[in-house]
Amino acid sequence: MMVLATSAWGGGRALEQLLRCAGLDCVNEHQLTDNPEEADLILFAETVHFDDPEWRTLRQHPYLERFREKCFIYNEADTPWCVLPGLYCSMPRRAFQPRRQKAFSYLYTMNEMVAGPCDGPRPWLYSFMGASNHAARRRILKLRDKRAVLEDTSQYNQWRPTDLAEKERRQRRYVEVLSGSKFVLCPRGAGTSSYRLFETMKMGVAPVVISDEWVAPDGPDWSAFLLRVCEDEVANLPGLLRGHEHEAETRGLLARAAYERYFAPEVLFHHAVEACRELLELAAAAGSGDSVPALDRARPVYTSPLGARG
């Protein structure tokens, strides 16, 4: 397919990374174009939901007036609504529309030191470092376990770092703890998903998702390496993970393999386009009455107070 990757705001980190992944793409099934007439699909990669939560700039974009049926969005908002069909990192299960949305990974990491896979000893059974911005996280941070590293980073805002040395120190500490853990807890924060999940997979560590409303992206055999724990069962984590400790290494290896196959930069562009193509085909198969993905101009499908990601 011919793909026009763009942003209604003219740029941003998501678009930059999507274009980078297109340049690294090892599948070579889809190509970029700058011509909206030639494009089979137009993908808006956006990171501005804090500045324009109603998506007014996107909704007024001329491409939507001319090519609405082939316009899609990559939307990483913590509290999203379905402004366009497309790729949603944190659309909650209760609002998920399979004909309009595909669950997807984040296009980038907030910590460039996350390289992986990690080698060396793993002295901690499990770990979590993050802001205390959800009940599930607060329950985790109340656990007392000598075999775990649990650190509340609420006082540090990774989105607005004021001290580059402090940012580097914290990022290094994060990687050190992650690489020294047999399991990494990946609880929801303001959104149902977390960068931490995909960073953990990249590092080859076994992830534990604690997010009742999280929808898993298509592709991986998640059950092979992922443990899921209900948000109200956090107190059972120490015993649960001790029971699975003998599986940690294998789960970590399978997590890394799934990352390489579905989420690594060399394949991410391909899977993003394939996900949008499936949505195009679903709309077309629905018949002429629903062949054009509708643009929501009234009430959001899902609304919630905006919050910071962690």
> Do the domains at 2-105+265-290 and 124-262 have one common CATH topology?
yes
CATH of domain 2-105+265-290: 3.40.50
Residue stretches of the chain with pLDDT short of 50: 288-310
Is-contact 89 193, C-beta < 8 A? yes
Is-contact 80 302, C-beta < 8 A? yes
Predicted pLDDT of residue 161: 61
Could you tell me the CA-to-CA distances from 237 to 139, 194, 234, 241 in Å, in that order? 11, 19, 5, 6
Predicted pLDDT of residue 119: 84
Q: 152 - beta bridge partners? A: 130
Predicted pLDDT of residue 198: 97
Predicted pLDDT of residue 275: 98
Please report, as a single letter, which amino acid is at residue 64. Answer: L
Q: Rounded to an integer, what distance in angstroms lies between the CA atom of residue 56 and that of residue 132?
A: 31
Please report, as a single letter, which amino acid is at residue 222. Answer: W
Half-sphere exposure of 76 (CA within 13 A, CB side): 20
- For the chain, give the DSSP string: -EEEEE-TTS--HHHHHHHHHHHH-SS---EE-S-TTT-SEEEEEE--TTT-TT-HHHHT-HHHHHHGGGEEEEE--SS---SSSEEESS--GGG--TTTEEE---SS-S-TT------S---EEEEEEE---SHHHHHHHT---TTEEEEE-TT--TTS-S-HHHHHHHHHHHHHHHHTEEEEEEE--SSS--HHHHHHHHTT-EEEEE-TT--PPSSS-GGGT-EE--GGGGGGHHHHHHHTGGGHHHHHHHHHHHHHHHTSHHHHHHHHHHHHHHHHHHHHHT-GGG-SPPPP-SS-SS--------
Predicted pLDDT of residue 287: 61
Total length of the chain: 310
Predicted pLDDT of residue 288: 41
Predicted pLDDT of residue 308: 34
Predicted pLDDT of residue 310: 38
Predicted pLDDT of residue 260: 97
Domain positions in the chain: 2-105+265-290, 124-262
- For 195-230, give the DSSP string: HHHHHHHHTT-EEEEE-TT--PPSSS-GGGT-EE--
Would you identify the CATH topology of the domain 124-262? Answer: Rossmann fold (3.40.50)
pTM metric for this prediction: 0.90
